[in-house]
Amino acid sequence: MPRRMSAAPRLSVLILAAGQGKRMKSDLPKVLQPLAGRPLLAHVLDTAAGLGAAATYVVYGHGGERVRGALADAPVHWVLQAEQLGTGHAVQQAMPRVPDDHLVLVLYGDVPLLRAATLQQLVALAGPRSLALLTVTLDDPSGYGRIVRGRRGEVLRIVEQKDASARELRIREGNTGVLVAPAGLLRKWLARLRTANAQGEYYLTDVIAMARRDRVRVVPLAAPGVTEVLGVNDKLQLAELEAAYRRRRAEELMRAGVTIIDPARIDVRGEITVEADVLLDVNVVLEGPVYLGRGVRVGPNTLLSASRVAAGTEIRANCVIENASIGPDCQIGPYSRVRPGTELAAGVHLGNFVEVKNSALGAGSKANHLSYVGDATIGAGVNVGAGTITCNYDGANKWRTDIGDGAFIGSGTMLVAPVKVGAGATIGAGSTITRDAPPEQLTLERSQQVTIEGWQRPTRKK
């Protein structure tokens, strides 16, 4: 008769996020400090979400309601740690909600760069009678608990730095704090914790020696790199992790075929989707979700946020593009601003100091110089002359401007919405258009030019 395989234990994730972060010297709770524009804790939650856990618990304390408010939409269970009495005490607060037959993965709200792949590997090493422990080897392990091993290399215990002997302080293998343990046994070990140590706290690390005494296997896993397990305690470390995060995201893009002129001068935040042969110049900021089609080129000092850019489009230097859809083979910039709600069809040109908001421009239309297009629908093949403004706001309401295919708008034109310009119409330069302009006709509005003879410019009295 074939042997019946037992089901793998389910997973509960506990994220410890109650620390005050005094060294940050900030009113903002430590786990809400920003990394790539998002709270540290948000990065940890993203990683946890990829592990297929049955439940995720966040143990919070300092700035508690502020932390909960900032991440109110996160699918987690919030657990208050009213007193901060150590990592063991923090885990104890969540354990009443965790079933005995689960595995418990302990993470930290200020360790944001752990990869899901590393944690999946760690979880696979744990089981009903085994505890998995993530370690890291450091050139300078100062501040880390040390992994004390036996003659055969087995993990015996973890000793915190303040409790370590001179010999133990020479150990370079440090404790990351990340572990996976069977919930039923972990609950028993936590109940045995005592505060007889240099900090007078309940150390979670003490459960390692308890597991050994209970003949539970302790399986160490070396972290793939130091950067992945770094925590944040002050603004200097925060800046170091920001640089590491930038480098990681740049490497991901380059592996996907993107040419990045200088990987040290690019910011990538959120979800980015790219096709082949994209080029990003220096100081580009991408705030996802962003899609960049094949052959897109993005010039220096450009911000792209929550936008789609289709194949073959070139975005020149110093542009800002937010919540917009850019069609193929467009040319934008330099110094263009494309605001939310904008849709550009194929081959549109926006030039220097052109601002477009909540507008649609048809294929091949151009606004090359010093213009504002707001709340407008512009057909195909339209030329918007320099200095054109759609006057869309009357002080209370926004009104739309409609311009038909093939229209020509002369320079310096004011289009006072609501107004329509017919297909093929021409608007003479310097006009203020307040009524609909018929198709295929020239419409212009200019006051009579007057020269006043003998007039003298006023001078300032001495």
CA dist 360 and 400 (Å) reads: 11
- Do 221 and 255 share a domain, yes or no? no
Q: What is the mean pLDDT of the segment spanning 188-193? A: 95
- Do 202 and 292 share a domain, yes or no? no
Domain boundary among 195, 229, 263: 229
For the chain, how far is it from start to end, CA to CA, in angstroms? 113
Q: What is the mean pLDDT of the segment spanning 427-433? A: 96
284: pLDDT strictly greater than 90: yes
Instruction: State how many domains the chain has.
Output: 2
- Do 224 and 297 share a domain, yes or no? no
In a domain, 131, yes or no: yes
pLDDT by residue (tens digit) across 290-307?
A: 999 999 999 999 999 999
CA dist 86 and 416 (Å) reads: 66
Q: Does residue 128 contact residue 9 with C-beta atoms inside 8 Å?
A: yes
Q: What is the mean pLDDT of the segment spanning 78-104? A: 93
* Cα dihedral 310/316/319/320 (nearest 10): 10
Residue 199's pLDDT is 86
pLDDT by residue (tens digit) across 257-269?
A: 999 999 999 999 9
385-413 burial: b if 16+ Cβ within 10 Å, else e: bbbbbbbbeeeeeebbbbbbbbbbbbbbb
Domain boundary among 198, 229, 260: 229
Domain span holding position 154: 11-229
196: pLDDT strictly greater than 90: no
Domain boundary among 182, 199, 229: 229
- Do 49 and 181 share a domain, yes or no? yes
* Cα dihedral 207/208/213/218 (nearest 10): 140
Q: Does residue 115 contact residue 229 with C-beta atoms inside 8 Å?
A: no
In a domain, 240, yes or no: no
CA dist 259 and 268 (Å) reads: 14
365: pLDDT strictly greater than 90: yes
Half-sphere exposure of 291 (CA within 13 A, CB side): 11
- 7 pLDDT band, cuts 50/70/90, is low
Among 19-33, 279-293, 321-335, 365-379, the range scoring the smallest mean pLDDT is 19-33
- Do 48 and 144 share a domain, yes or no? yes
In a domain, 244, yes or no: no
Residue 82's pLDDT is 87
Residue 8's pLDDT is 64
In a domain, 415, yes or no: yes
CA dist 376 and 361 (Å) reads: 8
CATH of the domain at 343: 2.160.10.10
User: How many residues does the structure list for the chain?
Assistant: 462
Q: What is the mean pLDDT of the segment spanning 425-448? A: 95
In a domain, 335, yes or no: yes
pLDDT by residue (tens digit) across 371-382?
A: 999 999 999 999
Residue 214's pLDDT is 94
* Distance of alpha carbon 399 from the chain centroid: 35
- Do 324 and 266 share a domain, yes or no? yes
- Do 162 and 259 share a domain, yes or no? no
- Do 255 and 224 share a domain, yes or no? no
State the DSSP code for 393: B
98: pLDDT strictly greater than 80: yes
Question: What angle, rounded to 10 degrees, do the helices at 183-192 and 87-94 form?
Answer: 130
pLDDT by residue (tens digit) across 405-414?
A: 999 999 999 9
- Do 210 and 255 share a domain, yes or no? no
Among 173-177, 257-261, 400-404, 419-423, the range scoring the smallest mean pLDDT is 173-177
Among 24-28, 240-244, 417-421, the range scoring the smallest mean pLDDT is 24-28
Q: Which of 43, 62, 89, 369 is catalytic?
A: 369
- 329 pLDDT band, cuts 50/70/90, is very high
Q: What is the mean pLDDT of the segment spanning 176-202? A: 93
CATH of the domain at 34: 3.90.550.10
- Do 260 and 198 share a domain, yes or no? no
In a domain, 153, yes or no: yes
- 20 pLDDT band, cuts 50/70/90, is confident
Q: Is 369 marked active-site?
A: yes
Among 129-133, 152-156, 384-388, the range scoring the smallest mean pLDDT is 152-156
pLDDT by residue (tens digit) across 226-273?
A: 999 999 999 999 999 999 999 999 999 999 999 999 999 999 999 999
- 1 pLDDT band, cuts 50/70/90, is very low
In a domain, 254, yes or no: yes
Residue 461's pLDDT is 83
- Do 173 and 273 share a domain, yes or no? no
215: pLDDT strictly greater than 80: yes
Among 80-84, 294-298, 332-336, the range scoring the smallest mean pLDDT is 80-84
- 83 pLDDT band, cuts 50/70/90, is confident
- 125 pLDDT band, cuts 50/70/90, is very high
Q: How far is CA 190 from CA 88, 115, 151, 202, in A?
A: 7, 27, 28, 9
CA dist 388 and 410 (Å) reads: 8
176 CB-near residues (< 8 Å, 6+ apart): 111, 134, 135, 136, 223, 229
Q: What is the mean pLDDT of the segment spanning 94-107? A: 95
- Do 262 and 213 share a domain, yes or no? no
Q: How far is CA 253 from CA 37, 134, 276, 359, in A?
A: 19, 28, 10, 31
Whole-number average pLDDT of the chain? 94
5: pLDDT strictly greater than 60: no
- 131 pLDDT band, cuts 50/70/90, is very high
